[in-house]
């Protein structure tokens, strides 16, 4: 009766542990909820979808994976060792714990256990640190967005506020939309004019031409601060995706670069793709026990690592996800680089002017060129592209039309001051 009561009490404690850890996981997710901005997965952003794949979706996926692996490690038995028959229950528990905190090693079943030279065996030293590593990877995904949000506000153009205001009026009444567009035009005009380079001279003009053509010079005064910062953040995302492959290769062992290709090849050839010495299910553990008289007893036991059944699937998914993120971000970076060319910038603006402005004629081509190159410049067109990616083309067309009318009015006033 006492034994049954003890087993019932143990089962109750384990169930309560699962419940407490589940509640803790939910509290952690709720605490991280504002950070991941899951509640704001609406069309109000100061970045594009590929950026959100990196800094929001990827971070959230890795946080969830970290919580699940932590649950499997710290609730239940992550390792079970086959102990000799003379070991008592307390000795078996000690064996499991000492083998978990120390590094086990892998020897195939068809090979003999080395007695002396164990430098050549494959030690498994990562499984204790998997949750920490995954949470660290989540932080790496989020870090570039923090740099972007911190530095883009220094340009004088509040990108997030502008896109949010436009997104809020996207489905509003015509009066609200017109009022919002006028507000956006005034703010953009004030910000663009405040970034002008008012110094004159040969060197100043040369710097402006170089900044317009080849981007060797960047800064707020040259009208390309935001776009160059954004491209730099894109490079950080690419470096993060590729760098994490190198990080995991050092963490899990050599050959992780091609781990996904090996899995696909084994599946295609009908091999056992779940068998890998990188994630062994059965390992060996050496430990010493000191007894009275300072006698040292060496023990070697065989241990099962059921956690590696899950770790293997997780790291296969992580490999494919990192490859997908790296390729998608690289292609997105190339597309953004393509938008930097002068011809593409002018075509982008003229496309909307022709759609929204029915009286746009060939005589407007020269003013439209000055409108793109001297008034909007790279940062202004970049903000318009971000608005287009997070709202719709109709709203962007109305904003470009309003800015075009505003620019033509001031351009004519500058040419004909007597008419004012």
Q: What is the pLDDT of residue 274?
A: 63
Is pLDDT above 70 for 3? no
Is pLDDT above 70 for 344? yes
Q: What is the pLDDT of residue 209?
A: 58
Q: What is the pLDDT of residue 20?
A: 47
Quick one: which of 128, 123, 83 has its CA closest to 104?
123
At 103-119, the pLDDT tens digits run 788 888 777 777 765 66
Is pLDDT above 90 for 235? yes
Mean of per-residue pLDDT scores for the chain: 77
Angle at Cα 193 formed by Cα 191 and Cα 196, nearest 5°?
115
Q: Give the span between the Cα atoms of 375 and 368, in whole angstroms.
A: 10
Q: What is the pLDDT of residue 154?
A: 80
Q: How confident is the model at residue 333 (pLDDT cuts 50, 70, 90)?
A: very high
Q: Give the span between the Cα atoms of 349 and 370, in whole angstroms.
A: 11
Q: Give the span between the Cα atoms of 316 and 297, in whole angstroms.
A: 40
At 206-223, the pLDDT tens digits run 655 555 555 556 666 677
At 81-102, the pLDDT tens digits run 988 888 888 888 888 888 888 8
> Whole-model pTM?
0.78
Is pLDDT above 50 for 4? no
Using CA of residue 228, residue 231, residue 235, residue 237, what is the dihedral sign?
positive
At 158-179, the pLDDT tens digits run 888 888 888 777 777 778 888 8
Is pLDDT above 70 for 346? yes
At 380-417, the pLDDT tens digits run 888 888 888 888 888 888 888 888 888 877 655 555 55
Judged by DSSP in three states, 170 sits in: coil
Range from 25-29, 43-47, 211-215, 235-239 that averages highest in pLDDT: 235-239
DSSP per position, 320-345: HHHHHHHHHHHHHHHHHHHTTSHHHH
Output phi, psi for 81, to 5 deg: -105, 140
Q: Give the span between the Cα atoms of 8 and 248, in whole angstroms.
A: 42
Residue bearing the bigger pLDDT, 37 or 72: 72
Is pLDDT above 50 for 21? no
Q: Give the span between the Cα atoms of 311 and 309, in whole angstroms.
A: 6
Residues with Cβ within 8 Å of residue 366, at least 6 apart in sequence: none
Q: How confident is the model at residue 289 (pLDDT cuts 50, 70, 90)?
A: confident
Q: Give the span between the Cα atoms of 236 and 388, in whole angstroms.
A: 24
Is pLDDT above 70 for 269? yes
Residues with Cβ within 8 Å of residue 289, at least 6 apart in sequence: 296, 297, 299
């Amino acid at each position: 009766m006492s034994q049954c009561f003890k087993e019932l009490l143990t089962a109750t404690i384990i169930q309560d542990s699962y419940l407490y850890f589940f509640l803790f996981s939910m509290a952690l997710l709720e605490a991280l909820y504002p950070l991941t901005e899951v509640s704001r997965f609406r069309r109000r952003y100061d970045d594009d979808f590929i950026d959100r794949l990196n800094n929001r979706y990827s971070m959230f996926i890795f946080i969830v994976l970290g919580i699940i692996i932590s649950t499997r490690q710290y609730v239940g038995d992550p390792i079970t060792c086959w102990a000799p028959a003379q070991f008592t229950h307390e000795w078996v528990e000690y064996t499991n714990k000492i083998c978990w905190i120390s590094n086990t090693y892998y020897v195939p079943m068809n090979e003999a256990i080395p007695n002396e030279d164990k430098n050549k065996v494959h030690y498994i030293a990562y499984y204790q640190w998997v949750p920490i590593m995954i949470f660290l990877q989540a932080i790496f995904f989020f870090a570039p967005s923090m740099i972007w949000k911190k530095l883009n506000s220094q340009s004088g153009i509040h990108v997030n506020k502008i896109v949010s205001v436009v997104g809020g009026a996207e489905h509003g009444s015509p009066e609200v939309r017109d009022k919002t567009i006028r507000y956006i035009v005034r703010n953009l005009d004030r910000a663009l004019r405040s970034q002008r380079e008012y110094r004159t001279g040969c060197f100043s003009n040369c710097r402006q031409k170089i900044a317009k053509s080849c981007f060797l010079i960047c800064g707020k005064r040259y009208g390309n601060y935001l776009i160059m910062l954004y491209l730099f953040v894109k490079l950080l995302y690419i470096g993060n995706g590729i760098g994490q492959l190198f990080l995991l290769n050092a963490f899990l062992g050599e050959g992780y670069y091609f781990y996904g290709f090996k899995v696909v090849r084994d599946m295609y050839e009908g091999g056992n793709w779940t068998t890998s010495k990188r994630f062994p299910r059965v390992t060996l553990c050496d430990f010493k026990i000191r007894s009275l008289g300072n006698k040292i007893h060496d023990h070697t036991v065989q241990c099962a690592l059921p956690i590696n059944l899950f770790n293997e699937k997780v790291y296969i998914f992580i490999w494919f996800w990192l490859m997908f993120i790296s390729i998608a971000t690289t292609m997105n970076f190339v597309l953004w680089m393509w938008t930097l060319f002068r011809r593409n910038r002018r075509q982008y603006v003229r496309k909307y002017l022709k759609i929204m402005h029915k009286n746009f004629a060939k005589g407007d081509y020269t003013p439209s060129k000055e409108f793109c190159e001297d008034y909007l410049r790279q940062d202004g067109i970049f903000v318009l592209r971000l608005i287009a990616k997070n709202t719709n083309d109709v709203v962007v067309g109305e904003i470009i039309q309003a800015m075009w009318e505003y620019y033509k009015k001031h351009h004519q006033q500058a040419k004909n001051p007597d008419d004012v």
